[in-house]
A and B are shown apart, each in its own frame.
Chain A
Amino acid sequence: MLSPRDRLLAWLFAAQLLAAAVLGVVLVNALGGGSAPTVLGQAGPLPSVTAAPSAVPTGTVGPTTGPRGGSTTVTTTTGGQQGSTGSSGGGTVLKPGAPIKIGVLVTQTGAINFAPSAQATKAYVDRVNAAGGVNGHKIELIIMDDQLDQARGQQAAQRMLADGVLAFAAWNAPNTENQIVPFLEANKVPLIGSYGMYAQYHSPWAYAFSAHYGHYGYELGRWLKEKGSTKAGFIYIDNGEARANDGLERAVQAGWKDAGGTGTVEMHREDPTQGVYDDVVTSLQLSGVDGIATILDQTAYNRLQQASDRHAYTPVHVATPLFADPAVAKTSSNEGTWVASDMEFLEAGTPAVNDYVQTVRAAYGAKATVNWVGEVGWLDAMILVDALKAMGKDITRAGLVKAVDGLRSNGYGFTSPLRFGPGERDLNRCLKLGRITGGKLVPATGWRCDGQPF
């Protein structure tokens, strides 16, 4: 016989399990919706997304780890079935009015964040939806945050896939992107626009519309020599991927040498958590380095500048667009710095750039942040919408890839003409240069392109 105490304890534990389950169901589903996504855009029934047999991009884009060449039959089915009229050989036809779901992963919290990209993407898609959407469908963005954590990001990708997204787009989540390509290829889901990590330039399922860091490295090395450096150094944040780091260093050395530089460029790979840069500056000074190229984030740029100010170190400096970000303080060592960018400078005031700036500011008011990161998010959204329009009624994942490959562009007013084409993934190969003058960035050159294989 069970004692009354034992019985009570047993039922207490059973009740605890039951309460846990009920709490889980209620809180996870009702309060947060399970994946707790930020669902933006138009609500509506879930689309059925069935990718139909279709030609997957062909061609050679360098070393590859995934399926490439020929054609691949895509039969992945995910998500709910509401709103679908079923699929046929030509792909899935959404019910009229059913939204097209797009998964957007952006690092929005943490020491490094890309929230301006999410702002820009959402602002552009909202405008498209307000004008009636694409081919009768609204676009529903599911925006999630990986908090700089690959595992969280990968989980978010699973959740978005389970929620029935047609594709991923406008990602700015470098940590997750490092490892996302096998996931994309295993599930045959396209990523239209991303921050741009190494593997993404070599997969038929991924697109990055910003220039590969190899192009950045090469041009930084060239410009460093052309702007008068005789002994060069290169400081960059660890990409967390050895082949990306090695490729970047090789590109800088190649650019430096091709421009007539002698000797090797002194390399300084820094950890993102590196608190002070005084030791880096001391080392560069003692080595006699009179020119530095840098690829850093805003915080690291501030740290480098502070150390440079203390040491009165004023080398020739060629930096990346984040150097001109509002979050980077304008100090004495800031003046005269060259800034290379694959996107049109905000200061250029071109119609496309002004449209981006005004739209985001109108949508977010005082909380709006416009910068290079936002430009990338805006451009990604423009290309996504263009591709969706080009797909017509053939709304399939493979159809989307085909549509992107078939686009023709003059750069959308943001970049040099992008090299769309079947299998082509190294789309943006050109940069231009500006210079900090009087505390402001002044555009200095037109686009300069290179054909370096990376």
Chain B
Amino acid sequence: MRLYLALALGGLPLGAMYALQALGIVVIYKTSKVFTFATGAVGMLAAYVASWLAVEQHVPVVLAAATATLTGVGVGLVMESLTIRPVRGAVNRTVVTLGWLIALQGLVGMLFGNTSGRQAAKVFSSEPLFTVQALNLAYGVDQTAVLLLALALAAGLGLFFRRSALGTAMRAVADDPEAAGLLGMPVHRVSLTAWGLGCGLSALSGVLVTPLLSSLDTLTLVVFTIQALAAALVGRLQSLPLTLLGGLGLGLVQPVVRHALRDLGLSGTNELVALLVVLVALVARRRTGRGDVGGGGLVPAAQVALPSLRALAPVVATGAVLVVVLPLTGSTTFVIDLSLVAIWALAVLSIVLLTGVVGQVSVCQGVFMALGGFGAAIAVDHGVPFVPALLVGGGLAAAAAALVALPALRLQPLELAIATLSLAFTADTFLYKWHPLVSDASGRAIPRPGFAEIGTAAGQRAYFWLLAVVLVLAGLAVASLRRGRTGAALTALRSSEAATAAMGFSVASAKLRGFAAAGFLAGVAGAAYAGLNQIATGAAFDTTRSISLLAYAVVAGVGSVPGAVLGGLIVTLSTLSFGSSTDIASGFSASATSALTGVVLILVLRFAPEGVTGVAARAVRRRPRPVPALEVA
């Protein structure tokens, strides 16, 4: 008992760290109804700026911290004015913040390098400030400072929103922006202030928290996002005191759970606890009628019309020739790249189905891919031949997707995005290290007899041709889903759940089928990826992969089936390293790819939300049709 009490109280400073990041999320959401996923990345940027100033430029640490915080404010202002305000729809705006997340990660990697070892700017020392001997409990100066700051900020911001004129204006704008505008309130300026304030808080949190984690890298603070999400949802995205309590509560509970489950050899229990809190909080929100995180589906999901089968003939002919000829013209390495294009195209196709057709946003397709890989490997272990094992992998992923869809039945698209992102974070640290799934060696070998001799071109070619057939079949299946009664149900669901029900379709059934089908495709893609590498692992399908898959699907066009091929090509190119050997070795190339991905995602949502294929199709539609000649009698 004494131990658990000590562990719980020792976790309070950790909880304060969560709360600090969560406060930034809530401040922004209260005013703009946009859920930002970029808070961790803003904090990370600020931590690097502070480190560069204080450690390398020898600027006094307080001045460095202040400058870094102001940098965060500046990022918030730019984010709001240039990329949030011009974009339509709460979900699209949230996806923009995902773009910022990966863009900032990449930018920091390019500027400062993305390896650990850089020293954080320490505003406070970690010397013990006070101890409780009976519990062997000790708080350092730095931990106490974070704790007090979180308390002070929660109280101060509460007062600000209730008592100050600007705070009142913010609340008014949050309640009804149009009415506030009509009353003469400067709506845009208020929104701008909220984003500046929220990102400034995230930046300050990053500067203060990083030294406590003894790690200045591009990942740690971003992973903290799931904890902040949980704390913010405990506060119903509105209440600052409850958000503070949510953060502190997580800090209290996590070390206790971790210790209690220590003998089970589980990893990622902190993230697992946070995921449970997120799910419970989301469901509770809807039960209490506070489900105002709506905003509809992804706005750009305008479907690109498919040509008739006869019209497709030249495409099929050209494609078939390319599929047969291309592998014969390049090296084995090139054939591996072609296989990757097919695999990622299949993965993007799953997002086309889920987001473009069904209208749901998932930020965890990578998790379904990983499950597909592990499922296939387990099947092969049990004597299932390789090709049927791909389908078994797809089946496992489909089952998991249907499980995710169960809470999704109650959630609005934006809430679903939050839940699936939390799941992706949890998979990184928990699921991909869970021995019953991944084996005792954190990865499962998956031989593919009949398709390799790994080092030989013939084996790789055979495997590519198999993948090409799978991709074509999947594309035809998705295209056919948009026809007939199922297509009508799914299309109606995209627009309005109420309308879907009014038309006599079951909303629950349509959602479940959509999720399961998309999960199946992602699972087969993951199984195919495992087959390519002859090993199933989770590392290739981390949170960043899930986000970037969604990003590339949006860039290629989530409403277009053939766009998936373009998406597959873009994803493959993004996984290859370009540039000089020095750039590759230093990680600069990977960072530049990440930054470019984020920027392109933001630009596409800003200027062409229907994606590249959508724009192309629109351009074709705008061509004047030839006017038939009049027959003169």
- Pair B315/A6 contact, Cβ less than 8 Å: no
Assuming the contacts A273-B223, A310-B128, asked whether A2 and B311 have C-beta atoms less than 8 A apart, the reply is: yes
Residues of B with C-beta under 8 A to A269: 265
Assuming the contacts A111-B220, A154-B535, A302-B214, asked whether A182 and B337 have C-beta atoms less than 8 A apart, the reply is: no
- Pair A279/B259 contact, Cβ less than 8 Å: yes
- Pair A298/B117 contact, Cβ less than 8 Å: yes
Number of A residues whose C-beta is below 8 Å from B? 94
- Pair A242/B3 contact, Cβ less than 8 Å: no
Q: CB < 8 Å: which of B315, B331, B445, B454 contacts A13?
A: B315
Interface assignment of A78: CB less than 8 Å from any CB of chain B: yes
> Measured between C-beta atoms, what is the minimum distance from A276 to chain B in Å?
6
Interface assignment of A227: CB less than 8 Å from any CB of chain B: no
Interface assignment of A28: CB less than 8 Å from any CB of chain B: yes
Q: CB < 8 Å: which of B223, B454, B536 contacts A183?
A: B454
Interface residues of B in 503-537 (CB under 8 A from A): 529-530, 532-537
Assuming the contacts A34-B333, A310-B143, A311-B138, asked whether A20 and B429 have C-beta atoms less than 8 A apart, the reply is: no
- Pair A299/B315 contact, Cβ less than 8 Å: no
Pick out which of these stretches binds chain A: B69-77, B87-95, B582-590: B582-590
- Pair A36/B576 contact, Cβ less than 8 Å: yes
- Pair B337/A34 contact, Cβ less than 8 Å: yes
Residues of B with C-beta under 8 A to A312: 128, 131, 138
Assuming the contacts A151-B530, A283-B7, asked whether A309 and B140 have C-beta atoms less than 8 A apart, the reply is: yes
Pick out which of these stretches binds chain A: B232-240, B562-570, B603-611: B562-570
- Pair B539/A151 contact, Cβ less than 8 Å: yes
> Measured between C-beta atoms, what is the minimum distance from B567 to chain A in Å?
10
Interface assignment of A408: CB less than 8 Å from any CB of chain B: no
Interface assignment of A155: CB less than 8 Å from any CB of chain B: yes
Q: Mark B19-62, 1 if CB is under 8 A from A, else 0.
A: 00000000000000000000000000000000000000000000
- Pair A286/B2 contact, Cβ less than 8 Å: yes
> Measured between C-beta atoms, what is the minimum distance from A410 to chain B in Å?
33
Interface assignment of B440: CB less than 8 Å from any CB of chain A: yes
Residues of B with C-beta under 8 A to A302: 214-215
Interface assignment of A10: CB less than 8 Å from any CB of chain B: yes
Interface assignment of B310: CB less than 8 Å from any CB of chain A: yes
Assuming the contacts A16-B562, A182-B445, A241-B442, asked whether A35 and B116 have C-beta atoms less than 8 A apart, the reply is: no
* Complex CA distance for A8 and B307, rounded to whole angstroms: 9
Interface residues of A in 1-31 (CB under 8 A from B): 2, 4-14, 16-18, 20-21, 23-25, 27-29, 31
Assuming the contacts A17-B322, A155-B533, A162-B455, asked whether A175 and B539 have C-beta atoms less than 8 A apart, the reply is: yes
- Pair B455/A145 contact, Cβ less than 8 Å: no
* Complex CA distance for A179 and B312, rounded to whole angstroms: 44
Assuming the contacts A36-B578, A155-B336, A310-B139, asked whether A240 and B620 have C-beta atoms less than 8 A apart, the reply is: no
* Complex CA distance for A306 and B125, rounded to whole angstroms: 10
Interface assignment of A158: CB less than 8 Å from any CB of chain B: yes
Residues of A with C-beta under 8 A to B131: 311-312
* Complex CA distance for A180 and B66, rounded to whole angstroms: 48
Interface assignment of B625: CB less than 8 Å from any CB of chain A: yes
Assuming the contacts A29-B334, A112-B116, A276-B14, asked whether A271 and B454 have C-beta atoms less than 8 A apart, the reply is: no
Q: Could you list some 27 contacts between A and B, CB below 8 A?
A: A8-B620, A10-B312, A16-B613, A17-B318, A20-B569, A23-B569, A24-B573, A27-B576, A28-B572, A32-B577, A34-B334, A38-B584, A108-B115, A108-B585, A108-B587, A110-B114, A113-B116, A143-B585, A147-B590, A154-B534, A187-B455, A238-B267, A240-B433, A273-B429, A276-B14, A279-B7, A299-B116
Residues of B with C-beta under 8 A to A162: 331-333, 336, 455, 457, 460
Residues of B with C-beta under 8 A to A240: 433, 441-442
Further pairs besides A28-B573, A115-B115, A309-B127: 17, Cβ < 8 Å: A2-B310, A8-B620, A10-B314, A14-B314, A14-B319, A24-B338, A79-B455, A110-B115, A147-B590, A151-B539, A241-B440, A279-B259, A282-B135, A303-B213, A305-B214, A306-B212, A309-B126
Pick from A9, A155, A303 the residue with the most CB of B within 10 Å. Answer: A9
* Complex CA distance for A178 and B441, rounded to whole angstroms: 7
Assuming the contacts A159-B336, A282-B7, asked whether A109 and B590 have C-beta atoms less than 8 A apart, the reply is: yes
Residues of A with C-beta under 8 A to B219: 110-111
Binding site for A on B (CB under 8 A): 2-3, 6-7, 10-11, 13-14, 114-117, 119, 126-128, 131, 135-140, 143, 212-215, 217, 219-220, 223-224, 255, 258-259, 262, 265, 267-268, 270, 305, 307-308, 310-315, 318-319, 322, 326, 330-334, 336-338, 341, 429, 433, 435, 440-443, 445, 454-457, 460, 529-530, 532-537, 539-540, 562, 565-566, 569, 572-573, 576-578, 581, 584-587, 590, 613, 616-617, 620-621, 623, 625-626
Residues of B with C-beta under 8 A to A182: 445
Q: Mark A266-288, 1 if CB is under 8 A from B, else 0.
A: 00110101011011001101100
Interface assignment of A131: CB less than 8 Å from any CB of chain B: no
Q: Mark A83-115, 1 if CB is under 8 A from B, else 0.
A: 000000000000000000000000011111101
- Pair B565/A17 contact, Cβ less than 8 Å: yes
* Complex CA distance for A86 and B217, rounded to whole angstroms: 50
- Pair A158/B330 contact, Cβ less than 8 Å: no
* Complex CA distance for A282 and B319, rounded to whole angstroms: 63
Assuming the contacts A34-B331, A178-B442, asked whether A16 and B566 have C-beta atoms less than 8 A apart, the reply is: yes
Assuming the contacts A9-B307, A17-B318, asked whether A298 and B116 have C-beta atoms less than 8 A apart, the reply is: yes
A-B contact count (CB 8 A): 291
* Complex CA distance for A78 and B459, rounded to whole angstroms: 12
Interface assignment of A335: CB less than 8 Å from any CB of chain B: no
> Measured between C-beta atoms, what is the minimum distance from A365 to chain B in Å?
12
By Cβ-Cβ distance, the 10 closest A-B pairs, closest first, are A242-B440, A109-B587, A302-B214, A240-B442, A149-B539, A162-B332, A34-B333, A6-B311, A78-B455, A38-B581
- Pair B212/A276 contact, Cβ less than 8 Å: yes
Residues of B with C-beta under 8 A to A14: 314-315, 318-319
- Pair A16/B565 contact, Cβ less than 8 Å: yes
* Complex CA distance for A88 and B116, rounded to whole angstroms: 49
* Complex CA distance for A36 and B442, rounded to whole angstroms: 26
Pick from A18, A143, A240, A241 the residue with the most CB of B within 10 Å. Answer: A240
Residues of A with C-beta under 8 A to B576: 27-28, 32, 34, 36
Residues of B with C-beta under 8 A to A299: 116, 214-215
Residues of B with C-beta under 8 A to A25: 326, 330, 334
- Pair A17/B584 contact, Cβ less than 8 Å: no
- Pair B307/A10 contact, Cβ less than 8 Å: yes
* Complex CA distance for A158 and B405, rounded to whole angstroms: 37
* Complex CA distance for A78 and B331, rounded to whole angstroms: 12
Interface assignment of A118: CB less than 8 Å from any CB of chain B: yes
CB closest chain-A residue, reference B580: A38
Q: CB < 8 Å: which of B117, B267, B318 contacts A327?
A: B117
> Measured between C-beta atoms, what is the minimum distance from A107 to chain B in Å?
10
- Pair B315/A276 contact, Cβ less than 8 Å: no
- Pair A310/B138 contact, Cβ less than 8 Å: yes
Interface residues of A in 195-251 (CB under 8 A from B): 238, 240-243
* Complex CA distance for A4 and B621, rounded to whole angstroms: 11
CB closest chain-B residue, reference A8: B620
Residues of A with C-beta under 8 A to B536: 151
* Complex CA distance for A5 and B619, rounded to whole angstroms: 11
Q: CB < 8 Å: which of A2, A18, A278 contacts B322?
A: A18
Assuming the contacts A282-B137, A299-B215, asked whether A17 and B115 have C-beta atoms less than 8 A apart, the reply is: no
Q: CB < 8 Å: which of A2, A18, A38, A79 contacts B585?
A: A38
CB closest chain-B residue, reference A197: B441
* Complex CA distance for A149 and B540, rounded to whole angstroms: 6
CB closest chain-B residue, reference A272: B267
Residues of A with C-beta under 8 A to B312: 10, 13
* Complex CA distance for A298 and B572, rounded to whole angstroms: 33
* Complex CA distance for A143 and B138, rounded to whole angstroms: 46
Residues of B with C-beta under 8 A to A42: none
CB closest chain-B residue, reference A156: B533
Residues of A with C-beta under 8 A to B585: 38, 108, 115, 118, 143, 145
Residues of B with C-beta under 8 A to A158: 336, 454-455, 533
CB closest chain-B residue, reference A76: B455
